[in-house]
A and B are shown apart, each in its own frame.
Chain A
């Protein structure tokens, strides 16, 4: 219900700015949450975000959950000796004073078991679980299949 209300509230704001919103939990700032449109629901979706740790204690992203995906997981695209694979990432370190990006060609949330196709302009919630900061839910903007990321002029990257 919480997720639904959040989504409903955010759907009323300008869609282009949605991915540029910043959510703070403890020492962590979570922003630029976006995804790419999928072709149907039979193929996995993807989740990207930027997490900044402004505190003095290391933290780590342990997992993600979303009502749109039956099996969401953290992955890391690794290109080694000319071969790309994407092993499961048990956790993604968010060291003190640093920013970590889930972005194309690197760490990403893999949204398997989609309950619906993700359409450009839609949004959906993703709950991130951190080792120290706990849980926080962000609203994820679905950009076009060809998008390289949200266009946030003052994004903290």
Chain B
């Protein structure tokens, strides 16, 4: 990765702003602990792989496990999606209570590469969403998470994405419950979910 000084400054400024924006909730959320704080209701309005617009409202009544990522991400994203797949398998008949959602932060490229093909390779229950750039920004903002594009001349198409790698749990009323930090074992997430049914 080669960044000019200006790019580095912009990057740091953007990151700092995002961190300041979410400081309280984030700092305690990243180490995987439940967060006590004012409830908030993340929302999205994003297209699925067939172009249908999907919104948070249609999933009321289910727990949502939401991950923001991109399909050209070979390390972090498959690790988390594999855990989600494992959790869905292990939930058995309770799987109907949980909707896992993959929100692309690289929507244009992911639509071209094939979104459903990617998510179903992990688990057929995972819903992949790739909306417009603006709608993706507002979805991320409503979850209070950060993502950004990084210039990388060696990467395919000359860029790669940086993003919050956590898994976000939303309750059946649409309210934020907690974040599972990257690398939280699937078994731990599973028992957290089961304790809520």
- Is chain B a partner of chain A in the same complex? yes
Chain A residues close to B by CB (< 8 Å): 36, 38-40, 42-46, 71, 73, 75, 77, 79, 81-88, 104-105, 108, 110-113, 145-148
The answer on a CB contact under 8 Å between B164 and A83 is: yes
Given the contacts A42-B113, A83-B163, A36 and B146 also touching, CB distance less than 8 Å: no
B157 CB to nearest chain A CB (Å): 10
- The contact sample of 10 A-B pairs, CB cut-off 8 A, is A39-B121, A40-B113, A44-B74, A83-B163, A84-B165, A88-B1, A104-B75, A112-B155, A145-B121, A146-B78
The answer on a CB contact under 8 Å between A113 and B164 is: no
The segment from B43-51, B55-63, B79-87 found at the interface with A is B79-87
B43 CB to nearest chain A CB (Å): 21
For A87, the chain B residues whose CB sits under 8 A away are 1
The answer on a CB contact under 8 Å between B15 and A81 is: yes
For A79, the chain B residues whose CB sits under 8 A away are 165, 182
For A77, the chain B residues whose CB sits under 8 A away are 75-76
Query: Interface size for chain B: under 10, 10 to 19, 20 to 34, or 35 or more residues?
Result: 35 or more
Contact residues of B between 129 and 160, Cβ < 8 Å to A:
145-148, 150, 152, 154-156, 160
For A36, the chain B residues whose CB sits under 8 A away are 74, 78
B161 CB to nearest chain A CB (Å): 8
Contact residues of B between 103 and 133, Cβ < 8 Å to A:
113-114, 117-118, 121-122
Which of B147, B152, B182 has a CB less than 8 Å from the CB of A105?
B182
The answer on a CB contact under 8 Å between A110 and B74 is: yes
The answer on a CB contact under 8 Å between A83 and B1 is: no
Which of A38, A45, A112, A148 has a CB less than 8 Å from the CB of B82?
A148
Which of B114, B122, B164 has a CB less than 8 Å from the CB of A84?
B164
A133 CB to nearest chain B CB (Å): 25
Q: Which of B75, B117, B150 has the most CB of A within 10 A?
A: B75
How far apart sit A44 and B72, CA to CA, in the bound complex (Å)? 6
Given the contacts A42-B113, A83-B162, A86-B160, A108 and B74 also touching, CB distance less than 8 Å: yes
For B118, the chain A residues whose CB sits under 8 A away are 39, 43
For A71, the chain B residues whose CB sits under 8 A away are 154
Ranked 6 nearest A-B pairs via Cβ: A85-B162, A84-B165, A46-B74, A146-B82, A104-B79, A87-B1
How far apart sit A83 and B16, CA to CA, in the bound complex (Å)? 11
